[in-house]
Structure 1
Amino acid sequence: MDRYAKELIVSTGEYADVNGVNLYYESHGSGSPLILLHGGLGSGEMFGPILGTLAAHHRVILVDLQGHGRTADIDRPIDVRLMADDIGALIDHLGLDRPDLVGYSLGGGVALHTAVKYPEKAGKLVSAAANIRRDAIPPEMLAQQVQVNAAAAEFLKDTPMYELYHRVAPQPENFPLLLDKLGAAMAVDFDFSEDVRGLQVPTLIIAADADMAPPSHYVEIFKLLNGGLRDGGWMGEGRPRGGHALAILPGLTHYNLADSPLFAAVTLDFLGK
């Protein structure tokens, strides 16, 4: 995590009091707006290695989600649908004109639900490494997720997630509480298939070829968007309507996708079309 801090473009962050949460965000670069959302137990700093690349083409609004990074927790569960309301309110607060939404893991779910709930506020959507069904995760990984709770805090003290939280969080003593909330969120069964079917904005689904869920799951998501069901055609006439796309990135895992130059390149290519 130290390399994230070193490579992050220096910027003065601000707070937006929206939807009952005092949301921390930073703005980097210029151009069409892009809201960038991090994964669980992380913060915007996890995008440090690729932030400069993205900010060379867009005004990147880097957000710390509820209870993460520099955003204090509130009396509310960790739920991607509730956090989507935070992002919808932030768009209004900043007066953004249909920003693109790019999220990874937890942030990918938040970005997706922001686009689902507020299609009139969103440009394009990039949802990376965000499974839409709990049972898409292999049983051995679900067993590990069950162990995410306050009692695990002691065992995580030597990890980058713990170091980041204690370095930037307004209330660093709340790390066990965040683990409890994330563990509770991951224990709840969910299926967002119908939400995906209802997406009204051009959407890119991204996954690593060795992600937490298998590549086949992300192919299933693409099929919900009418993708991968027919030959694309010489002129692309068989591609899914709505501009949807799928990218399985080679040589990556769930844990290094967010800072990969390949992730940045594919995202910029999709947003630029």
Structure 2
Amino acid sequence: MHHLLTRDGILLPYTLHGGGHPLIFVSAYGMTAAEWPKKMLSPLADRYRLVLYNHRGISGETNPDVPFSIPQAAEDLHDLIAGIGETTATIIGYSMGGMIALEHVIRYPDEVDRLILLSTCCGGVEAVPSEEWVREEMAGQPVSIEAYLDRAGRLLLTESFRRMHPDPSSWFPDVGEPVDAAVVREQFDALQRWRGVYPRLKEVQAKALVISGDRDLVTPPDNAGILAMAIPDAGAIIMEDGGHGVIFQYPEEVAGIITEFLHLDHHSMGR
């Protein structure tokens, strides 16, 4: 475990896996870095240097004068890239992490060579919102691991997937203790405050890949099309029977898609 000291004095823990070109994973709302599915990470670590970190507050480190926000999280990502000794990296953002990745690539375009957006949206009025009951569920805080798994299953996984995998303990094998309720609330409030980046998506210089599930309740899949159309060099893949937690349903398949995207693109650059 390593620690990065941000400009405002917050220690952000991060881990490194594998070697080669850096892939930085930006976590979702209420998620710890340890919850990225290992079945997705392991194939990628064979080729790349994986960097996983916690957002401020997740590990108890906070600054009351600099609260969590999507723009602030983008600045933390900027600090992380410098802190690990890199000038450019591939950024992989999931859900809220994708929003942070978009905010970051617009602020620091030279730091991102490739952008991979998982189950995310552009924010603002241009984004397609989830239904009200989904937002209400997300705003709550389960009181136990069992309640957390139940809610996550309903919101992140498709009904057919849950029927095929009836044991809840198999859904998120890498899940840890729930994040502190106050931290989750701060992240939820940050999501509500974020104005989005749609008007500036045309400025994104990095080649981008957008991945979504066709049955995503939290970030409806139409958002993937909006991103792919607005970012100059972007493509979208919509996974069949995929929910918001498509990385948990199909971790090895997602890893394969990412590997092919990066491999083919790097190969073409060298031709």
Q: TM-score band, normalised by the shorter chain?
A: 0.7 to 0.9
Unaligned runs of 5+ in 1: 1-12, 167-171, 227-241
Q: 1:200 aligns with which of 205, 209, 212?
A: 205
The answer as to 2:134 corresponding to 1:122 is no
Q: Which amino acid in structure 2 is aligned with residue 176 of structure 1?
A: A
Going from structure 1 to structure 2, the CA distance change for 1:189 and 1:42 (only over 3 Å counts) comes to closer
Corresponding position of 2:2: 14
By how many angstroms is 1:142 displaced?
Answer: 5.6
Q: Confirm or deny: 8 A CA contact 2:102 2:197 kept in the other structure.
A: no
Q: 2:130 aligns with which of 134, 138, 147?
A: 138
Corresponding position of 2:39: 49
Q: What SS does structure 2 have at the residue aligned with 1:115?
A: helix
By how many angstroms is 1:247 displaced?
Answer: 1.3
Whole-angstrom distance in 1 between the partners of 2:60 and 2:22: 21
Q: Which amino acid in structure 1 is aligned with residue 176 of structure 2?
A: L
Going from structure 1 to structure 2, the CA distance change for 1:72 and 1:189 (only over 3 Å counts) comes to closer
Q: Which amino acid in structure 2 is aligned with residue 192 of structure 1?
A: V
Between stretches 53-62 and 212-221, larger displacement belongs to: 212-221
Q: Tell me how many residue pairs correspond in the alignment.
A: 233
Unaligned runs of 5+ in 2: 153-174, 266-271
| TM-score normalised by structure 2 residue count | 0.77
The answer as to 2:70 corresponding to 1:65 is no
Between stretches 35-44 and 181-190, larger displacement belongs to: 181-190
**Alpha-carbon RMSD:** 2.4
Q: Deviations over 1:99-145 (max 9, x none)?
A: 11111111111222221111111211111111113551233246416
Q: Confirm or deny: 8 A CA contact 2:103 2:197 kept in the other structure.
A: no
The answer as to 2:32 corresponding to 1:26 is no
| TM-score normalised by structure 1 residue count | 0.76
Q: 1:263 aligns with which of 246, 254, 258?
A: 254
Identity across aligned pairs (percent)?
19
Q: Confirm or deny: 8 A CA contact 2:27 2:54 kept in the other structure.
A: yes
Q: What SS does structure 2 have at the residue aligned with 1:159?
A: helix
Q: What SS does structure 1 have at the residue aligned with 2:139?
A: coil
By how many angstroms is 1:74 displaced?
Answer: 2.8
Q: Confirm or deny: 8 A CA contact 1:22 1:71 kept in the other structure.
A: no
Q: Confirm or deny: 8 A CA contact 2:142 2:148 kept in the other structure.
A: no
Q: Which amino acid in structure 2 is aligned with residue 140 of structure 1?
A: E
After TM superposition, list the pairs within 5 Å mapping 1:35-114 onto structure 2. 35-47=24-36, 48-68=38-58, 70=59, 72-75=61-64, 76-114=66-104
Higher RCO (CA 8 Å, separation ≥ 6 residues): 2
Going from structure 1 to structure 2, the CA distance change for 1:214 and 1:157 (only over 3 Å counts) comes to closer
Q: What SS does structure 1 have at the residue aligned with 2:31?
A: coil
After TM superposition, list the pairs within 5 Å mapping 1:234-249 onto structure 2. 242=233, 244-249=234-239
By how many angstroms is 1:26 displaced?
Answer: 0.3
Q: Confirm or deny: 8 A CA contact 1:126 1:204 kept in the other structure.
A: yes
